[in-house]
Amino acid sequence: KNIYDYDLDQDNAKIVCITDGLTFFGRTIVERLLLHGYTVRVIVNTPDDLERVRAMKDETAKFHGRIEEVSAKLTETESLVDAFDGCYGVFHTSGFIDPSGVSGYSKYMVEIEAKVSENVMNACTMTQSVRRCLMTSSLLACLWQNSTQLGRRSVIDHSSWSDESLCKDKKLWYALGKLKAEKIAWKIAEDKGFKLSTICAALVTSLNILHHNPTPTIAYLKGGEEMYGNGVLATVDVNTLAKVHVKVYEEMNKASFGRYVCFDKVITGEYEAVELANETSISLERIRGDKYDFCEKDLTKPFCLSNRRLSSLMSTTYPISCLES
């Protein structure tokens, strides 16, 4: 029997699994899903994880949905199949960090990230109940391109892919990990005819973000000076990003799936750079180096960002700003 002929009742359609619901961002998605009435399975690995899920249950008891904990290992496909069984969809939000690395993300983590992405996608295609997967990728998987090869200002959007060689040359391991993880997910989805959407998210921000999410923030900003100079250093509020995930997932029921660039602010000048430095507690020099640019939009920058596709999808419910070319 073809897995896509599997019969699901209405209740199954509201059951999803999240590969990491315990990070700052993961918790925000879980809460958003609960508000929409979903049953959310949160993967746990340790007794500490279990205690954190139980605390989440108490904190979200008033929400419409409910939380379930499920034990699984992201490094074992069969373990993930068991965790996903009975779920209609999967939110692959997990990422990997190496606190001992200079930027919080070492070269070693690249292959781990790609392998887990492969495991998650294979488990999705092997689980009879699972119909779709929404993966959290990164804007870094789109924007690292060689501007010297371009004859004009180039738009970075959902069709753009970072240059793998460039990421290696600049030792941008976090960008490379996200790039390879997303590419392998798309390869499996295309080979298996499985429904996948990916959200290429900008730097996630919120109040006291460095306290909640220190290592990914530092890892993302490796190369921040160059991103700022190229006009592609962008951010997205954590609550906006969570809303985007739920909206895109629900639109997949209407055959609207694919790749989406997600940001709500581009750091185009000194004022925004100072604001980001204050918000992240990261030095201004690390964000914009010695570039003192007071222009709102510097048309001499080699790239500009566009989230036109996502903005169109979200406009009926959650209008978000869009920097168009």
Question: pLDDT, tens digit, for every residue of 196-237?
Answer: 999 999 999 887 665 556 677 888 988 999 999 899 999 999
Helix (H, G, I), strand (E, B) or coil at 133: strand
Residues with a catalytic annotation lie at 178
The predicted structure's pLDDT at residue 320: 41
Q: pLDDT tens digits, residue range 109-142?
A: 999 999 999 999 999 999 999 999 999 999 999 9
User: What pLDDT is attached to residue 95?
Assistant: 79
CB 84 within 8 A of CB 127: yes
Look at residue 323 and tell me if it is in a domain. Answer: no
Residue 122 lies in a domain: yes
pLDDT digits (tens, 9 = 90+) for 38-81: 999 999 999 999 999 999 998 888 888 899 999 999 999 999 99
Confidence band of 12 (pLDDT split at 50, 70, 90): confident
Boundaries of domain holding 33: 12-201+239-261
* pLDDT in the model for residue 60: 86
- Quote the pLDDT of residue 294: 45
Residue 97 belongs to a domain with what CATH number?
Answer: 3.40.50.720
Tell me: pLDDT of 323 over 90.
Answer: no
Mean pLDDT of 261-269: 93
Q: Specify the range with the lowest mean pLDDT, choosing from 59-73, 93-107, 114-128, 304-318.
A: 93-107
Residue 313 within any structural domain of the chain: no
Pick 314 or 188 by higher pLDDT. Answer: 188
For residue 22, is it within any domain?
yes
Q: How far apart are the first and last CA of the chain?
A: 47
Q: Percent of the chain at pLDDT above 90? A: 60
Can you tell me the mean pLDDT for 271-295?
77
Residue 40: φ, ψ to 5°: -115, 120
Read off the DSSP letter of residue 44.
Answer: E
Flag whether 293 is in a domain: no
Number of domains, the chain: 1
What is the model's pTM? 0.88
Residue 42, H or E segment: strand 39-44
For residues 130 and 87, the answer to whether their CB atoms sit within 8 Å is yes
Q: Is 200 helix (H, G, I), strand (E, B) or coil?
A: strand
Is there a domain that residue 231 lies in?
no
Query: Sign (positive/negative) of CA torsion 274, 277, 280, 281?
Result: negative
CA angle, residues 51, 52, 54, in degrees to nearest 5: 65
267 lies in a domain? no
How far from 106 is each of 98, 233, 271, 284, CA to CA, in Å? 6, 21, 32, 24
Residue 207 forms part of a structural domain: no
- Classify residue 156 as left (phi > 0), alpha (psi -120 to 50) or beta: beta
Q: Give the bridge partners for 22, in sequence order.
A: none
Across residues 72-99, what is the average pLDDT?
A: 91
Q: How many CB atoms lie within 10 A of CB 32?
A: 21
